[in-house]
Structure 1
Amino acid sequence: MLISIRKVFFNLKNALLFLGIGVFILTLQLFYLSQYSERLGALKNQHLLINKIINTDLSDPKMASIMINGALSEIELSVKVSGKEAFLDSFINSNEEQASLLRSLVVSSEAFRDNALIWSESLAISEKSSRARMLNARTAYLTDIDRMTDYQIHLIQESIDTAKMIALVVVMAGLLVFLLYRYRLDQIYRDIHKACSVDTDGTRKVIATQEIDFLLKRLRKSSQDSLNPNLLNPLSGLNNEKGLINAFNAKKAGKAGNTVFLALFEIDRYATLINTLSKEDLKNLFNKLGEMFTMYEQPLDVIAHMDDDRLIFLMSRSSKKTAFEECEKIIQSVKESSFTTAQGPIKITLSAGFLLKPPVKTIDEGVQQALQLIENAKENGGNCIVQLRDLSNSYR
């Protein structure tokens, strides 16, 4: 089955969009982790500031007051950073536990700061009792810091696990997209290369893409149109009887590896059809038929439109089954198609005779035998192909 270049690029854009969304989400998760790290750093800093305050020497009251006031201001700022809402917090995590821990941390930090300030300003007589109250407040404060730290570590671990999963999905999807579309783009490049290359041996170019297959068939049709007008049927632009003989003889040398099959096609109820259509309508009808036939043409094949308005398809194929199935596809395609006329769209069907053309027999002899097969097809209602059974004179 041929692939569509348009579909390949449409799916590639969607795949890249999916990967882009994955990378965007992963980037957001990394920002999220960085904000959690800032919270964790603020909590660690509060530990250091607490130690700095309780170890301050009060022998120099003025210097001690400066150091303690500065540390207390930093603690207040760090508490705010510890409770700062991270990006996506409201979408990913429940804020209830975070809010509860933060309230407890704010209360205990305020208690510690108040007691630290009282201790720093206390007289020598009350220094010990003030310090004891400060240390008690420190214990509650450190407990809240540790609880908040554990919670932040838990959030960081969850975020890391999420980032790992997203990264794994993005990498696997990226690898799959790379392998699949590398293969698809290679197919497209190979088809373009085949379309641009010169046919030197007459072998069939196996095309994988619909668009390039269509272009090659159009090019073949155009090349036929540029042949000697005396060798062409004016209605369809296909070879006439003389053109058939010339083309067959010209390509005969290349048919050594394959068998030649002859398929003769005739429009059902043609006598009635010709009385209702103008010459221009008939020309358009046969032009379209010619285009449909050339869709199945290979380099060593010959298609002709005879003077009696029958179509001949000399097919060079490796097997009888392949040639017969292609003829069936032609008949089915014609049946399913509409043909434009001055009176509106019409439907037609074809009857066909199919046989192996022995090398010792002429094309005319094969045509006469195929005509008998067509008569048999019409007796069966038309719109079918009849073939001569192998090694037998009976019909199928």
Structure 2
Amino acid sequence: MKISIKAVFKNISIFLMFFTFVSLSAMLFTFEQTNSYIKTDILKDQKDIINSLRMIDKKDVELALIQYNGKSTDLQYQVNKLRELYEYDITGNYILGNSQEYLSDLDKLSSAIDDFNTKAYTYYKSSKKNVEQTKTELDKSHIVLENRINSLLFKNMEYDSQKFSFMIQITIATFVIVLLLSIWYYTRLKKIYNDIAYLQSPSKSKKDYEICTIEADAISIRMKKKPDVKDNPSNIDPITKINNHKGLITEYGEKKNFKENNFTSVTVLEVDNFSKTNRAFNQEFSQAALKKIAYTISLFEQATDVIGRTDYNQFTVILSRETKDKAYKDMEAIREAISELKFVTQTKVPVQITVSGGFFIKPNNVVLANAMEEAKKILRFAQQGEKNRIAQKRDMEGVHI
């Protein structure tokens, strides 16, 4: 089955979008890891701050309180900063689902900091009589707070380990997908390149080369010249130099899969002025008329069309068009062009040669021979009325031939 270049490049654009999304995800993960390092540094800074709060000299109470106020405020500020950083933790919030646990730990840390700040303030304001008791309470509060910070540090490491494990799985899966897609696209792009190379220099390519893409096949068909009698004279009508019945069937077999979404019309045209049984003109005139008619039909022929002389005064025209209406209009144009041809007999008498036709839209499940028979039935209906017209199947509704 031939591939579509348009579909390949459409899929490549989707692949590039996917690759961009993966790259963006990797960038966000890197940003998350940076934030994780910042969170670890903040927790370490908090340990240093609480240790320094315990070491403030009480000899100058006012100076001690100023230092205490600055350091205690900084502790709460650091907690708020941890909350803000976690808002950007997409993996933790939406994939691992540990947001409630982490935020709960931050609340506990904030409470422990408040308790430690209170005990520290009481210690620095206490008199000499109560200094031992307040110092003991401060030490206990310090131990609780330090344990909270250590717990967060360990959990932060655990979260990072989970993220890393998750990202390893995603990275492996992404690598496999990208590798398979790259191989898949490489094979198709190679086929496209080979087709283009063949079209560029067909004479240098192998004669048995099989085109792999729909678009290249279309170009190849357009590039092909008309069949030469010398190539296969059994397929060519010797008078008109177009396909005979055998050549029509053969060429249609080569082109029928091209533009599968198009409608295929089969029209049988018959000359109104003469036939096998009605030899109204001599042989020379009749053959000259057939040649002109064949040439006129060929002027309307497109790359996907097939024409042929299939009987003494009959021509079969197979069109491939986007719509049924366009196919019918093109057949009408052919009929009108034939009717406008100028003919003169040997006795200098002008003659108007006309054709009648049976137009039939061929369904995909109907073979060409049956479609031609249907077109001939419609042709016979067209010949019952006025000549020089193209009849369709819908014109025969209610009429039995």
| Fold shared by both chains (TM-score > 0.5) | yes
Instruction: Report the AA paired with residue 224 of structure 1.
Output: K
Change (3 A) 1:128 1:188: same
Change (3 A) 1:116 1:239: same
Q: Distance in 2 between matches of 1:202 and 1:175?
A: 32
Give the conservation status (yes or no) of the 8 Å contact 1:241–1:306.
no
In structure 1, the partner of 2:164 is 160
Change (3 A) 1:242 1:285: closer
Give the alignment's TM-score, normalised by structure 1. Answer: 0.59
Listed one character per residue, the Cα deviations across residues 129-165 of structure 1 (whole Å, up to 9, x for unaligned) are 2211110111121222223323322222222222222
Change (3 A) 1:277 1:36: farther
Q: Distance in 2 between matches of 1:202 and 1:102?
A: 74
Q: SS in structure 2 opposite 1:69?
A: helix
Within-5 A mapping of 1:85-124: 85-87=86-88, 88=90, 90-92=93-95, 93-124=97-128
In structure 1, the partner of 2:396 is none
Q: SS in structure 1 opposite 2:203?
A: coil
- Report how far residue 54 of structure 1 moved: 1.8
In structure 1, the partner of 2:79 is 79
In structure 1, the partner of 2:360 is 345
Instruction: Report the AA paired with residue 47 of structure 2.
Output: H
Change (3 A) 1:209 1:51: same
Change (3 A) 1:305 1:193: farther
- Report how far residue 286 of structure 1 moved: 11
Q: Distance in 2 between matches of 1:98 and 1:111?
A: 20
Instruction: Report the AA paired with residue 74 of structure 2.
Output: E
Instruction: Report the AA paired with residue 226 of structure 2.
Output: Q
Within-5 A mapping of 1:252-331: 264=246, 274=270, 284=297, 291=304, 308=312
Give the conservation status (yes or no) of the 8 Å contact 1:4–1:210.
yes
Q: SS in structure 2 opposite 1:6?
A: helix
In structure 1, the partner of 2:238 is 241
Change (3 A) 1:201 1:11: closer
Q: SS in structure 1 opposite 2:246?
A: strand
- Report how far residue 189 of structure 1 moved: 1.6
Q: Distance in 2 between matches of 1:130 and 1:110?
A: 16
Give the conservation status (yes or no) of the 8 Å contact 2:119–2:137.
yes
In structure 2, the partner of 1:139 is 143
In structure 1, the partner of 2:216 is 212
In structure 2, the partner of 1:13 is 13
In structure 2, the partner of 1:358 is none
Give the conservation status (yes or no) of the 8 Å contact 1:36–1:86.
no
- Report how far residue 182 of structure 1 moved: 2.2
Q: Distance in 1 between matches of 2:44 and 2:60?
A: 28
Give the conservation status (yes or no) of the 8 Å contact 1:2–1:208.
yes
Give the conservation status (yes or no) of the 8 Å contact 1:43–1:145.
yes
Change (3 A) 1:290 1:116: closer
- Report how far residue 5 of structure 1 moved: 0.4
Listed one character per residue, the Cα deviations across residues 196-219 of structure 1 (whole Å, up to 9, x for unaligned) are 115158724332211011101111
Change (3 A) 1:53 1:309: farther
Give the conservation status (yes or no) of the 8 Å contact 1:192–1:212.
yes
Q: SS in structure 1 opposite 2:270?
A: helix
Give the conservation status (yes or no) of the 8 Å contact 2:245–2:310.
no
Change (3 A) 1:43 1:202: closer
- Report how far residue 27 of structure 1 moved: 2.8
Root-mean-square deviation over aligned CA pairs:
4.5
- Report how far residue 176 of structure 1 moved: 2.1
Give the conservation status (yes or no) of the 8 Å contact 2:271–2:313.
no
In structure 2, the partner of 1:41 is 41
Instruction: Report the AA paired with residue 94 of structure 2.
Output: F
- Percent of counterpart pairs with the same letter? 19
In structure 2, the partner of 1:2 is 2
Q: Distance in 1 between matches of 2:188 and 2:248?
A: 40
In structure 2, the partner of 1:25 is 25
Q: Distance in 1 between matches of 2:368 and 2:269?
A: 11
Give the conservation status (yes or no) of the 8 Å contact 1:240–1:307.
no
Give the conservation status (yes or no) of the 8 Å contact 2:113–2:145.
yes
Change (3 A) 1:80 1:200: closer
Listed one character per residue, the Cα deviations across residues 374-395 of structure 1 (whole Å, up to 9, x for unaligned) are xxxxxxxxxxxxxxxxxxxxxx
Q: Distance in 2 between matches of 1:61 and 1:277?
A: 127
Q: Distance in 2 between matches of 1:199 and 1:136?
A: 93
